[in-house]
Chains A and B, each alone.
Chain A
Amino acid sequence: MGELEKLAYDLRKDTVDMIVSGKAGHIGGDMSVMEILVELYFDQMNISPENKDDPNRDLFVLSKGHSVESYYSVLAKKGFFDIKEAIDTFSKFGSKYIGHPNNKIPGIEMNSGSLGHGLPVGVGMALASKMDNRKNRVYVVMGDGELAEGSVWEGAMSASQYKLDNLCAVVDRNRLQISGTTEEVMGQDDLHDRFRSFGWNVIDVEDGNSIEQLKMAFDKAKSVVGKPTVLIANTVKGKGSSVMENNVSWHHHVPTEEEYSQIIKDFQIRKEVF
């Protein structure tokens, strides 16, 4: 009990180390999405370095590609590559570990970075599985600020048109984006209704940083027939340390030495709760 919760904090440390080493990274969103990635990769999805080319593997698209640092940490832990290499070279000259996902890195299916691309791509993947009668599932993780992109809603329309119950989207609803709160920038407090009106099954995850709640939601989504599911995961931007939490200036910020030691201390304290 509590293993994945603890793991999320270990991977937070890897992520922050990567950001400090590379002197770059979208740290706030990395922290908010961590439990979503951990629950998917270490509990829900059938994916590993051994089956990465198996057509029956589960598929994942990180549409909010700027959270690539936490994604690298998770993939390295899954054994796709060495975390040390990622930390040492991230964002540096000539590195293959660039600031957004690209599929030359083992474990990454699709390149992303420009927002609003993941859902249509996920629809294509889910359609391919339906065409070939495969039982695998497709997961797309989006940011909440990203939902202002029109292409998200094009994808949402086609997912319900084609009754893609093998597609599960997740919104990392951390309520902050570069310019301020999502509600100030482009409000979406009726998000659940929006997705419902597009024909989606909507599951609210009250605490989107709770492994237990995410697990329940993902499990429930699997039993839904005839429509796609979206998890609206209410997360905390900068989750894990009071230095960063709910602070818009940590959208992309490299911790100072002082901030770093406080953050790592906070991670340790939070981890011990589990």
Chain B
Amino acid sequence: MANIANKKAICDLLLEKAKTDKDIVVLCSDSRGSASLAPFFEEFPQQSVETGIAEQDLVGISAGLAKCGKKPFAASPASFITTRSYEQCKVDVAYSNTNVTLIGISGGVSYGALGMSHHSAQDIAAMAAIPGMRVYFPSDHFQTTKLMEALLKDEKPSYVRVGRNAVPEIYSEDNCTFEIDKANILSEGKDVAIIACGEMVYEALEAAKALKEEGILATVVDMYCLKPLDEDTIIKVTKDVKAVITIEEHSPYGGLGSMVSQVVGENNPKLVVNMSLPDAPVITGTSSEVFDYYGLNKEGIVKKVKEIIK
């Protein structure tokens, strides 16, 4: 099967579920094309809301719909839906406890050369700091589908970040273990724990394979659930390893690395190395060029692990 973008998996699932669930409403801020949600707007115009380029309106309207029993899915570029409408996310969604699913599309550096205005390297930090807001970075389309199915079943606010591009598969149709808010341990090794989220999970897995050939055994965790953070799994996988690596498409501040460091520091004190984007506008390029430049890839992880595991 060809690789599928996580955002497409979201649209496919919503298309299927909306056939029988008339309360599903999809909202876009002139972003239906980039969100791959145009088919939903065509198929279910009565369950679609266009707000124009007005992200505060997008999130406020979603909250109002949710208050009246609808199940709104608001999709807009991650950089805008999290920070342009941050206060609506905080007050209208989280504080008012409305059943809104915020979908940040083209997250992280998906927009590559478009520059820092279009990058969302602070969305974990921003959204996780809001009481009552859940934060998810699914790794592949199988997991994205499972996540969306789970979110449809509950009535709590959440933020889901997906990237723009098709991503390699981590799971398969028959093998996609999923329990909401429970991280997945993808491989177990005694030397190092690599904890990753989103698109970085695939790189972590590839790195673990390469390290194995060199006799270094790595545990790899898909920490798709950043909040609530699966602390039990972090404590479990970091207990006996020599060091911990975190890797994320996010700023060095307030993301996966910060969260894991807090938990490890309190429970299993040992070396934790955070791999992330820099605290600076990133270099111009496609997202894969950007990842390569900052070592956010298989080779970068292997190099880092070998540096810290003597």
Binding site for B on A (CB under 8 A): 55, 59, 102-103, 109-114, 116-117, 119-129, 131-132, 150-151, 154-155, 157-158, 161-162
Which residues of B have CB within 8 Å of A132? 68-69
A157 touches B96 (CB 8 A): no
CB < 8 Å: which of A103, A127, A154, A161 contacts B65? Answer: A127
**In the complex the two chains form, what is the Cα distance from A260 to B25 in whole Å?**
51
A110 touches B61 (CB 8 A): no
**In the complex the two chains form, what is the Cα distance from A132 to B70 in whole Å?**
10
CB < 8 Å: which of B51, B52, B61 contacts A121? Answer: B61
Which single residue of chain A is at the shortest CB-CB distance from B25?
A131
7 contacts between A and B (CB under 8 A): A109-B67, A117-B88, A122-B64, A123-B60, A128-B64, A128-B68, A151-B56
Which residues of B have CB within 8 Å of A122? 64
Interface flags for B28-64 (1: CB within 8 Å of A; 0: not) read 0000000000000000001101011010110111111
Which residues of B have CB within 8 Å of A161? 52
The number of residues on chain B lying at the interface, defined by a beta carbon within 8 Å of a beta carbon of chain A, is: 29
Interface flags for B58-87 (1: CB within 8 Å of A; 0: not) read 011111111111101000000000000001
B63 touches A154 (CB 8 A): no
Most A Cβ at <10 Å: residue of B57, B63, B97: B57
Q: How many pairs, one residue from A and one from B, have CB atoms within 8 Å of each other in the complex? A: 104
Which single residue of chain B is at the shortest CB-CB distance from A120?
B60
Most B Cβ at <10 Å: residue of A121, A125, A161: A121
B293 CB within 8 Å of chain A? no
**In the complex the two chains form, what is the Cα distance from A110 to B61 in whole Å?**
12
**In the complex the two chains form, what is the Cα distance from A128 to B65 in whole Å?**
5
B95 CB within 8 Å of chain A? yes
Most B Cβ at <10 Å: residue of A129, A154, A158, A162: A154
**In the complex the two chains form, what is the Cα distance from A220 to B72 in whole Å?**
32
A103 touches B68 (CB 8 A): no
How far in angstroms is the closest Cβ of chain B from A155? 6
**In the complex the two chains form, what is the Cα distance from A118 to B51 in whole Å?**
16
How far in angstroms is the closest Cβ of chain B from A29? 19
How far in angstroms is the closest Cβ of chain B from A103? 6
How far in angstroms is the closest Cβ of chain A from B248? 30
Which residues of B have CB within 8 Å of A125? 64-65, 67-68
**In the complex the two chains form, what is the Cα distance from A105 to B117 in whole Å?**
39
**In the complex the two chains form, what is the Cα distance from A161 to B51 in whole Å?**
9
**In the complex the two chains form, what is the Cα distance from A110 to B64 in whole Å?**
8
B69 touches A124 (CB 8 A): no
How far in angstroms is the closest Cβ of chain B from A154? 4
